[in-house]
A = this chain, B = another copy of it.
Amino acid sequence: MIESLQNLWQEVRDLTVGPPPRVDRLPSPPSPLQFLRHYVAPNKPCLISAAVPDWPALSLWPSPSYLRETLASTAVSLHLTPTGKADALAHIPRNSSPCFAAAHVEKLPFPEALDLVTASDLGETKRVAYLQQQNDCFRAEYGPLAADCEDHVPWASEALGCLPEAVNFWVGNRFSETSFHKDHYENLYVVISGEKRFLLLPPTDVHRMYVREYPAAQYIYHRLCDSGQSRGVLVHCYRVRTLELKTLLKVEIRKCNLLKDSEEFELELEDPVRKVPWCSVDPYPSPNDKPSAIEKFPLYFNGPKPYEVTVKAGEMLYLPSMWFHHVRQSPDDSTLTIAINYWYDMQFDTKYAYFNFLQSIPRSLFENREMCETASSSEKCLFDDED
């Protein structure tokens, strides 16, 4: 069976996308028919160079003063974590098993939020702020910017026969990272400033992601008081990737003047426990962690390399539905990465049925001692570790 699966991985690469690491690059947007025929139908990504040449956003948004002034009195959703990794696996202190950690989300005036993004740091403050919210936040929160870009992607809307289900806006820097996951949307991702670095894997590689169920947890951010006096902080807990506000918690912080910087965040398991299926693979383990990562996830680390796509200002990535993707931001400290993406409903069709079938095959059937052995010095075959 492992040969069948490896053939599938290879055939999808040979037949549709072509050899890694690069994907198709188009000089300008395709026609609706070309887009549907060559990219959506075969579920194949592409990168479009001069994707939105007429958007005022291209010249306006890279200027922080323009955004500050235009959004001076606009409240926006800010995601806060101590690591820059939200919707990612994390460890609760004194708990050996990882959990699925969602960011702390606060609504703040845009200028204040942008200050926190700019001040993000993994060193001294251990606080990374990321302006994002995947519940259609561009249309819901960034109304004053609407005239700077289009409210949909006309050729994509014509191809797909619908308007976007959600339009999201992202302002972050190199400290923010999005872990491997997939979305049930056709995704058109436009970078306006800085760059986004994607790792992409086709849905047929699902077994290589070691999707497992993790208990959901939430970062709770205790904002330090300037005065050292206690005060109430409104903590918004969103269930990310759903469109609904889940709950509001009011947290009394009585001794905030005693809290150290590193203690600003707490990671709390949801009660009652809720399990979230999530990809286990971190594609960039530290040098120390790399051997154990290879041992734990041999199908990922010993299999074909992911596609690497860097999306620069003015470019648009078509990220097909169900593709696994991992995202990092501009490589230098000073550059903000600003992006907007359009989520269109996907068709739940034959490909989706095939995916569900593939995913339903237990990894034990793909057991291959040879692959394990090249991957691991341990005697235990890691394929025994089932989803």
Contact = CB atoms under 8 A, between A and B. Distances in A.
Interface of A: 1, 4-5, 7-8, 11-12, 15-16, 32-34, 36-37, 40-44, 158-161, 202, 204, 347-354, 356-358, 360-361, 365
28 contacts: A1-B361, A4-B361, A7-B356, A8-B353, A8-B356, A11-B356, A12-B350, A12-B353, A15-B349, A15-B350, A33-B161, A34-B161, A36-B41, A37-B159, A40-B41, A41-B41, A41-B347, A41-B349, A42-B349, A42-B350, A43-B349, A43-B350, A44-B349, A44-B350, A204-B354, A354-B354, A354-B358, A357-B358
Give chain A's interface secondary structure class.
helix
A350 B354 CA distance: 10
A279 to B, nearest CB: 20
Contacts of A348: 15
Contacts of A11: 352-353, 356-357
Contacts of A37: 36, 159-161, 347
Given A37-B160, A40-B41, A161-B37, A350 B353 contact: no
B353 A204 contact: yes
Contacts of A1: 361
A204 B351 CA distance: 11
A357 B5 contact: yes
Listed residue (A158, A160, A357) with the most chain B CB atoms within 10 angstroms of its CB: A357
Contacts of A160: 37
Nearest to A13: B353
Nearest to A350: B43
B356 A354 contact: no
A162 to B, nearest CB: 10
Contacts of A41: 36, 40-41, 347, 349
Contacts of A356: 7-8, 11
B16 A350 contact: yes
B351 A350 contact: yes
Contact of A357 (B4, B40, B161, B360): B4
Given A36-B37, A349-B42, A360 B12 contact: no
Contacts of A42: 347, 349-350
Nearest to A357: B8
A125 B12 CA distance: 52
